A = this chain, B = another copy of it.
């Protein structure tokens, strides 16, 4: 262990990600100085990844760097906001500079792609864990919320569901998949795609929005509860990838409902806006699929699915035993 925290931060964290003119002072002082634009609200979120709980030890450090930022970007996406500045707290059992360089590269690539500047951070010794804090910007009053859905609204999701959960099972040896399918499912688990552009497009259209980190069933339930309504999901309409259908078979539907870590957006749209959303949505961005309807009756109900009780679908809670 030849380098101290100060030197390591200088070496691996300075200038990481995008260069932004609104960063007055970045890594290297007691705190960073930032200049938010007038008329904006600040959007702030944080997420922690703990080794063995939120990722497997087998994850390549580049993917872990990507993932630790992606899960936070997903929260910013769910608010319809634009990401701007990140802080990174890394707790490592020992310094491995090769590992650090790869982790930083994975973090930096995703940060640069979304114009995020790393503005500060710290290194501690301890069991491997990563906490990222991400700050974003949204025009005042325009950010999306979890609440705002009304009975009759259509329920949509971006992308496909269940891939990440299947990828985790494949990685653990609990699900068999052909080579290309296995690779694509594992990639979806390790390197989720935050739906930043989709979230910003939805500011004009969605009545409520949440990102799916704990599984569709659990998270759409939170959106419904926050909105004071319920949701009826049409299980036959859940968007499933070819890889999930091939590998998951009869488990695919259940993985799409209960599996966590998809980091897709789930959102609601007033009936009169559905046609415009569907016809104007840029297909190149990602798919959007209508999967149900908001209801007056509270709770999450399922239509057209193999029956499963709600408790079994409650998805991943980082604080329960599994």
Interface of A with B (CB < 8 Å)? 1, 3-6, 8, 24-25, 28-36, 38, 41-48, 50-54, 74-76, 78-79, 81, 85, 87-89, 91, 95, 119-127, 129, 131, 133, 135-136, 138, 140, 143, 145-146, 209-211, 222, 226, 317-321
23 A–B contacts, CB within 8 A, in A order: A5-B318, A5-B320, A8-B319, A28-B146, A29-B79, A30-B146, A30-B210, A33-B43, A33-B79, A35-B140, A36-B36, A42-B135, A44-B119, A46-B120, A47-B89, A48-B89, A48-B124, A53-B126, A95-B319, A125-B318, A126-B127, A126-B129, A127-B129
A4 in complex: contacting residue of B35, B50, B143, B317, CB < 8 Å: B317
B30/A45 in contact, CB under 8 A: yes
A54/B318 in contact, CB under 8 A: no
B79/A30 in contact, CB under 8 A: yes
B320/A1 in contact, CB under 8 A: yes
Residue ID in chain B nearest A87 by CB atoms = B46
Each complex incorporates copies of this chain amounting to: 2
CA distance A320 to B95 in the complex (A): 9
Query: Are A50 and B120 CB-contacts (below 8 A) given A36-B42, A42-B34?
Result: no
